[in-house]
Structure 1
Amino acid sequence: MKYDIIAFSDVHLGIHVKKEQEYCKWGAFLKIMHLWKEDITDAAAFCEFVKALSEEPPKNLVILGDLLEFWRKTNHEVLCRNHKVLKALFSLNCKIYYVVGNHDYLIYELAQKYKKNFQKGGDIEFCKDIRLMSGREYIFFTHGYDLDVQINYEMMGIEMYESFAAVQCRATNSLGGLVSTLWNGKTWLTLNFHKLWRKISIVCGISDKNHKDEDDMIKNITISGLAHLFCGAQPGDLLVFGHTHRPFIDHDHVVANTGSWCEDIESLCKERVQGITHTGSLCEDIDPKDNNEVKYNNRTYVTINNGIMELKTFVKGKPL
Structure 2
Amino acid sequence: MTGPIAVAGDVHLGAENADAEAFNGFLDSLLSEHEAVTELVLLGDVWDMIRRDPFGVAWESADTIDRLQTIAESIPVRLLLGNHDTYLGGLDDSRYDVAFLDDYVLEQAETTIRFVHGNAFDRLQFDALSERLSGPGDRGDIDPTSGRKDPLVATLREAVKRGHRGLRALPLVGTFAGVDAGRYSRRQRRAHAFLDSIAEHKLVYGHTHSPYVHHDNVAANPGSWKSTAPVHNTYLLVEDGVLELYRYRDSGADERLG
On the 8 A contact 1:168/1:176 being kept in 2, the answer is no
CA contact (8 A) 2:237 2:245 kept: yes
Q: CA deviation at 1:318?
A: 4.1
CA contact (8 A) 2:14 2:142 kept: no
- 2:28 aligned with 1:44, yes or no? no
Kindly tell me: are residues 193 and 54 of structure 1, through their superposed partners in 2, closer, same or farther at Cα, counting changes over 3 Å?
Answer: closer
**Deviations 1:59-100 (CA, angstroms, capped at 9, x unpaired):** 221111111011143213211111112111122121111001
Number of the residue aligned with 2:134: 169
Tell me the secondary structure at the aligned position of residue 48 of structure 1.
helix
TM-score of the two chains, using structure 2 as the length reference: 0.76
Residue of 227, 232, 239 corresponding to 1:298: 232
Distance 1:304 1:190, change over 3 A: closer
Contact 1:105 1:166 in 2 (8 A): yes
- Corresponding residue SS for 1:106: helix
The runs of 5 or more residues in structure 1 that have no matched partner are 17-39, 268-296
Q: What aligned pairs does 1:138-157 form with structure 2 within 5 A after superposition?
A: 138-148=112-122, 152=123
Partner of 1:314: 248
TM-score w.r.t. the length of structure 1 is 0.63
- Aligned partner letter, 1:308: V
Residues 108, 128 of structure 1: 8 Å contact kept: no
1:130/1:63 CA distance change after superposition, 3 Å: same
The match for 2:50 is 71
The reply to whether residue 227 of structure 1 matches residue 194 of structure 2 is: yes
Out of 174, 198, 204, the residue aligned to residue 240 of structure 1 is 204
State the 4+ residue runs in structure 1 displaced beyond 3 angstroms: 115-118, 174-178, 184-195, 206-209, 317-320
SS in 2 for 1:94: coil
Decide which structure has the larger Cα Rg and report it.
1
- In the TM superposition, residue 3 of structure 1 has moved relative to its aligned partner by 3.8
1:4 is matched by which residue type in structure 2? P
CA contact (8 A) 1:100 1:107 kept: yes
**Alignment equivalent of 2:83, drawn from 102, 123, 129:** 102
- Matched position secondary structure for 1:264: coil
Structure (1/2) with the larger helix percentage: 1
User: Quick one: percent identity of the two aligned structures?
Assistant: 24
Quick one: which amino acid aligns to residue 48 of structure 2? E
Unpaired segments ≥5 residues, structure 2: 171-180
Q: Deviation at 1:238?
A: 1.0
- Equivalent position amino acid for 2:84 in 1: H
Q: Which amino acid aligns with 1:247?
A: P
1:251-266 matched pairs, under 5 angstroms: 251-264=215-228
Number of aligned residue pairs: give it.
236
